[in-house]
Amino acid sequence: MRKINIQSNSDLFTDFVQNVDKILAGVEVTDAAGNPTEYADPHFQDRMQRLQQCSFNFEERAMHPISAEIAKGLSMTKSKVRRIKMIYDFVKILFFLLLLIIPFKILLIIFGGLIYTLLF
């Protein structure tokens, strides 16, 4: 994940970005049953609503710059990235286990054959 360095001194902007980031960090990949999160899921809809409520609170009034379409896009992107990361982590573990199992099988074949020839 890339880190950004906000160079402006605008507390309004920094607060807005941090609020959006906090909401996106809570996007779930799966629902309670373990199925991939979809647009119609209550959790997904909740995140979209929260994103749309993010605002710049000026003295005159609050402005909500995130539309439903932007909220949907941000949530979908976050969900896909998390899903891909989960798959990547699973493949890494599987590969690591294979690296442990393959040498063990080779040793078993070598020593198994050696033991067999010594016994018989």
pTM for the model: 0.64
- Model pLDDT for residues 14-68, shown as the tens digit of each residue: 889 999 999 988 888 777 787 778 888 888 899 999 999 999 988 889 899 999 9
For residue 58, the number of C-alpha atoms closer than 13 Å in the C-beta half-sphere is 6
- The residue ranges of every structural domain in the chain are 11-119
